[in-house]
Structure 1
């Protein structure tokens, strides 16, 4: 069925050649020479868009625009005018017009405007599908030929790019193809990490920045007595979530550099974030700070000494002369207090804010039925993250930081993965409870489903007792106990977990942002 377009212009007779051109392009045109009569038609006719002249005798275009919006707020309106005065444009744009054209207009201009308004989703979808079909083979070849951590970083970034490009298309089959390619990539990535992870920990070069080296590698170069920097660590922030909230930062900041680093294993908060702030691997933290480190079976908050770890690392890096402040935001009341107290830390050389919202959100997906229904997949996970951030006090803090000329370093400690497949594991009472990794004695598990470490010390991990070992789940597997197996699987299936080996958990962003002037 042809889309019906209403064109309102007091010189409508002169525009009939334009209307004939548009009709040949498949549109049904209804022409009328005054706004008053047009307003009587709009409530009863199913118009897809309105073209309206700004300067007409009687009721002018701007007045008619307001009345049309009152009748049908979502009806797209294209304003056509001879008037190039800025205040006219601003008034029209402020009334949420779909487009603004300056006379004289030619038929192709109008056609382009209508296509942009009415057919853009279809055109974008078709173009995206064709482009991904062409890129699919290239990505597959890159996966086969990937040799190092930089290759896998680039593959992951490409997959995220296409995931975001295709997330709003109506072609469900294409989305399934991309999902299958991501699964294939994670399978190959697991084998890559299994082969190379130990070497990264012992090498002096040719290794990625890891949790315990990234502050020195990526943050330190931006810290000085002459500049005030805000470091924001958003727990669980995946690369795809960063790309979703990036436009919100772009209101106030330019992205100076987008880097990626690798989370250590386990890709879990008590290991990765403590390593980030201390500049040490977990077993090194345990030896240097025996009173601060808690192992998995121990009771207590396992991330309560990040401030002390950071201070110690800054001393070792020769940064102790810098003025610093550290905050951990666990609820909106304290978030609001940080915003209100901005004046107290805007003059610090380094202010660190650890933000736990996404971690809370991922746990709520598991424990809260309403949140579980809201977050059904990666697309809705990204959308919920953006909606939160758009209305957060943290975004207001970012705006204030930009006004003060502060650089921002935005990063995370690890990502998460949407788990789908269970794998049975058996352990004793001291075995850790995490679903993506286990640490304990006498572990029984499916070899094909995990990366197993027998010598914890060789991987700079604490050994709780002599026979302790670690296993890390691969791909989208979660580890389930045989007891109450079906209940356990149904409860945790299709939730977001972390601690294992996947691109989503391990390849994570470190973003340098400079304020717009």
Structure 2
């Protein structure tokens, strides 16, 4: 491994000999120049790893030299050293993207710390992150054997996401592989947990907040005395929320973050209709048969969300001015952004934004999207890039200027499916890859959560003998006919409708304008 090459630029370099000897004793190689011009000529001929640059020199100044260095090599770290504590010099240097700023007189340990911070930063973080996760791995493994409430599962899932986001920043595929295996084990245990307790959640006072109770329990209380913008980003996983959360920080501060559970199936027509209606799918079918369509019926399944919301507001006694928008294209998003100030007097403005859902479907159908979102890390990155440049962010910025409270949530998450599970059904069986409903379903019991009497989990019966099955873990359902082609096409795509941490445990976030 080659030694670190340092260029130290100072018109009084001779006075710095003790510092240079100290660095050389630490196995650094130090080259020196007495002026900015000399340094620029040196850098044209020889590469270095880092530059120490005096600000106050005869000839071209340190700031001018810094500007020239950055034009020639923007990624070369430069540490500015100066006697001056004038604020404008600091601001100029920081604006020129210096790596560090030191005030004379400097001592050798300051220099060494700055070097490590800038050159060993990635290695030190990597080593510390790996060490911390190795310790946490044992604790997570113990938690997996003991966790037994919906709240504990939500906390464990968020812990796994935290470590996923930490480990993806370092080059340690071994540690990342261990985390992936923990996620698989967690989903296996979570599937068993949901199988045991899901039915009871509908009547248990200690059950989790779910799709059909979210509005009444958490959204409605937040609307009291505040103009509220409710954004439901379809198909938004917890890790994707964390990926773009920081983009909101200049405009909003987070005041609450809770996890809630999507009901089954974790699919838009069930979960999002339940959110806006405040009703289970079974109750929606009974009370509003004209607005509810079962899987096998023709036509759009989410065409009456605004009507469901209006009815729920009436039941809750909310006499207010409200509006609802569904955004499914860039054009619709831009139109709403351009006209958003017309909503400033609304008590509630509800927006369903469909981009993440469209992205997951496009990833299945388009090769270019498969390349751009080949794994969870890339999927998060693509979501963040979209959000940073979306009309949705423009809308949020306007809401902040108008003093609106902001609530961000979703209807369900999504999971990258890896393994097929064979299922056989008749022609009336639904088509979703993560759940099936129909008569005479044949499947592997170990792969599914089965509801032979759908009413017990508040789902409508399409036929008298219909049942539901929900895929667990990262499985997807495949028919025996044309099996190999089907499996090849859908493996490693993002799907929803089944039982997994990623699909069921989802974010609810309240933010106040800054």
| TM superposition score category, shorter chain reference | over 0.9
Please give the alpha-carbon distance, in whole angstroms, between the structure 1 residues aligned to 2:397 and 2:115.
36
Alignment of 1:245-256 (within 5 A): 245-256=244-255
| Offset of residue 406 of structure 1 | 1.2
- Residue 112 of structure 1 and its aligned partner are, at CA, apart by 1.6
After TM superposition, the structure 1 = structure 2 runs for residues 50-449 of structure 1, keeping only pairs within 5 Å, are 50-203=51-204, 205-224=205-224, 226-319=225-318, 321-449=319-447
Check conservation: 2:341, 2:398, Cα contact below 8 A: no
Which deviations, in whole Å up to 9, do the C-alpha atoms of 1:187-206 show, x marking residues without a partner? 00000000000000122x01
Q: Report the Cα distance in structure 2 between the residues aligned to 1:21 and 1:346, rounded to whole angstroms.
A: 63
In 2, Cα distance between equivalents of 1:515 and 1:3: 46
Q: Does 1:15 align with 2:13?
A: no
Distance 1:97 1:493 in 2: 46
TM (normalized to structure 2)? Answer: 0.98
Task: Measure how far apart 1:179 and its partner are.
Answer: 0.2
- For 1:507 and 1:455, the matched residues in 2 are separated by 24
In structure 2, the residue matched to 1:36 is: 37
**Alpha-carbon distance, 1:98 to partner:** 1.6
In 2, distance between residues paired with 1:304 and 1:238?
23
Q: How many residues align?
A: 513
**Shift, 1:23, TM fit:** 2.0
Whether the 8 Å contact between 2:416 and 2:493 is mirrored in structure 1 is yes
Distance in 1 separating the partners of 2:118 and 2:303: 52
SS in 1 for 2:229: strand
Q: Does 2:478 correspond to 1:480?
A: yes
C-alpha deviation, 1:294, in angstroms: 0.7
Unaligned runs of 5+ in 2: none
C-alpha separation in 2, matches of 1:22 and 1:132: 33
Paired with 1:21 and 1:244, the residues of 2 have a C-alpha distance of: 42
Question: Offset of 1:347 from its aligned partner?
Answer: 2.0
The alpha carbon displacement at 1:81 in A equals 1.4
Q: CA deviation at 1:105?
A: 1.7
Cα deviation, 1:157-206, whole Å, max 9, x if unaligned, reads 11011000101211111100000001000000000000000000122x01
The alignment's TM-score, normalised by the length of structure 1, stands at 0.98
| Partner Cα separation in structure 1 for residue 45 and residue 178 of structure 2 | 44
Q: Note the alpha carbon deviations across 1:61-116, whole angstroms, 9 max, x for none.
A: 11111111121121111111122222222221221212222222222222222212
Equivalents in 2 of 1:22, 1:355: separation in Å? 56
CA RMSD after TM alignment: 1.0
Greater displacement, 95-104 / 441-450? 95-104
- Deviation per CA, 1:413-448: give whole Å up to 9, x if none: 000001000001011111111000001111111111
Q: CA deviation at 1:25?
A: 2.4
Moved >4 Å (runs of 4+):
none
What is the CA–CA distance in structure 2 between the aligned matches of 1:393 and 1:94, rounded to whole Å?
29
SS at match of 2:45: coil
**CA distance, structure 1, for counterparts of residue 505 and residue 373 of structure 2:** 22
Partners of 1:102 and 1:302 in 2: CA distance: 65
Which stretch shows the higher mean deviation, 183-192 or 100-109? 100-109
Shift of 1:477: 0.2
* In structure 1, C-alpha distance between the alignment counterparts of 2:381 and 2:392, rounded to whole Å: 17
Structure 1 alignment gaps of length 5 or more: none
